[in-house]
Structure 1
Amino acid sequence: MNALKIVAVALIIAGGMGLAYGSFSYTKETQQAQIGPVELTVQDRQTVNIPVWAGVAALAAGVLLLLVPKTSA
């Protein structure tokens, strides 16, 4: 399997997951204060929304990469 097919499959998977889930979240830990040996940290949950058009575009690009024949130079 060459690199172009690997990229195409990765785009198809990423586009499908973007359409299926629509968003992902992660926890960001920030240091608020430090007084001597005592440290106060806050865990902040961030959510990133994935636009539908981005999922469709990734899916379409992956399919096109797989279907369009490779031209030899």
Structure 2
Amino acid sequence: MKATSVIGILLIVAGLAGVLTGGFSFTRDTTAAKIGPLELKVQERKSIDVPLWASGGAIALGVLLLALGARK
């Protein structure tokens, strides 16, 4: 399998994941204060939305790369 085909497949899979899920979220632990033996920790939940146009572009670019890779 050529590198362009592999990249094309990965882009299609990533684009489909972006369309189906709409984004992803993660939790980040931070230390807010440390006074002697006491520690204050904070958990922040972050959410990143994947725009629909970016997912569609990834799918289109992946299909283009697959077509160009199969052509040669």
Q: How does the TM-score come out when normalised to structure 2?
A: 0.91
Identity of aligned residues (%): 46
Matches within 5 A, 1:1-73: 1-68=1-68, 69-70=71-72
For residues 29 and 38 of structure 1, what CA distance do their matches in structure 2 show? 16
Q: How does the TM-score come out when normalised to structure 1?
A: 0.90
Structure 1 segments of 4 or more deviating over 3 A? Answer: none
Deviation string for 1:38-66 (max 9, x for gaps)? Answer: 11110010000000000000000000000
For residues 41 and 2 of structure 1, what CA distance do their matches in structure 2 show? 47
- For the aligned residue pairs, the C-alpha RMSD in angstroms reads 0.9
For residues 2 and 37 of structure 1, what CA distance do their matches in structure 2 show? 56
Segments of 5+ residues of structure 2 without an aligned counterpart are: none
Structure scoring higher RCO (CA < 8 A, sep ≥ 6) equals 2
Higher helix share: 2
How many residues in Structure 1 have an aligned counterpart in Structure 2? 70
